[in-house]
Copies of this chain bind each other. A is one copy, B any other.
Amino acid sequence: MGITQRRDRDRQEMRKLIVDTATQILVEEGIDQVSIRRIADRIEYSPGTIYLYFEDKDDILYEAHLEAFSAFLDAEMTVAAIPDPLERLQALGRVYVNFALSNQRMYDLMFLIPVPRIQNKEKYDWSVSIRTYQVLRTIVEECIAQGRIKPNHPDVVSMQVWATVHGLASLIIRQRIPMVDKELVSRMVDPVLNYAFDALKA
């Protein structure tokens, strides 16, 4: 391995350390608590050092949000083995909501706050996001192909499914459902998903 390569590897490791630390703080204390200084403190480097690896704070959050998507992709994969596409679709829905509710601050970063770095269109990389979406879309296509759900353009169906699960999860996370009893809310999740998926059946 040449010098350049080692440098590259070291650089990547440091970037990862920074991003992971940011994610850690995020998960433990919420996104408001993520600051350059706190990251620097935790990894025992100086704030200035951070800027040798990232252009700005937004960049770090961007990377963290990519990582989160990656973890989410793993979660999505757990349904791959289910043979029946409709069952797989339903399972994906449950996995989605479950991931969101179990990792609320991560989901916050992924879907609830304004996308980091979205302004710089030339720098924003949609590919992870697309891949995530493709998992859903592929299953939907299969369902349609096998006539298991009401037919339509696969993007339309995928969007509908996605909207439902994201909507459900985000209303819960952001505490917008006007039901005093918190437990009642969480007991609604399954029935709502069931109803939603039943409705899709051909």
Q: Check A111 against B174 for contact (C-beta < 8 Å).
A: yes
Q: Tell whether A83 is near chain B: CB-to-CB under 8 Å.
A: no
Q: Check B195 against A152 for contact (C-beta < 8 Å).
A: yes
- Closest chain B residue, CB of each to CB of A31: B114
Mask, A158-202, CB within 8 Å of B = 1, is 011011111110110011111010000000100110011011100
Residues of A in contact, count (CB < 8 Å): 42
Mask, A58-95, CB within 8 Å of B = 1, is 00000000000000000000000000000000000000
Q: Tell whether A145 is near chain B: CB-to-CB under 8 Å.
A: no
CA distance A156 to B193 in the complex (A): 9
Chain B residues with CB under 8 Å of A130's CB are 178
Chain B residues with CB under 8 Å of A157's CB are 195
CA distance A165 to B170 in the complex (A): 12
Q: Check B188 against A159 for contact (C-beta < 8 Å).
A: yes
CA distance A167 to B173 in the complex (A): 13
Which residue in B111, B156, B192, B196 is a CB contact (below 8 Å) of A176? B111
What number of copies of this chain does the assembly contain? 4
Which residue in B150, B170, B199, B200 is a CB contact (below 8 Å) of A167? B170
Chain B residues with CB under 8 Å of A165's CB are 163, 167
Main secondary structure of the interface of A (DSSP, over half): helix
Q: Check A188 against B150 for contact (C-beta < 8 Å).
A: no
Q: Tell whether A17 is near chain B: CB-to-CB under 8 Å.
A: no
Q: Check B156 against A163 for contact (C-beta < 8 Å).
A: no
Q: Tell whether A123 is near chain B: CB-to-CB under 8 Å.
A: no
Q: Tell whether A153 is near chain B: CB-to-CB under 8 Å.
A: yes
- Closest chain B residue, CB of each to CB of A200: B199
Q: Check A160 against B166 for contact (C-beta < 8 Å).
A: no
Seed contacts A115-B176, A150-B195, A199-B199; 18 additional CB < 8 Å A-B pairs: A111-B170, A111-B174, A114-B175, A129-B178, A132-B178, A133-B178, A153-B191, A155-B188, A156-B195, A159-B192, A160-B192, A163-B167, A163-B168, A164-B167, A166-B171, A167-B167, A167-B168, A170-B170
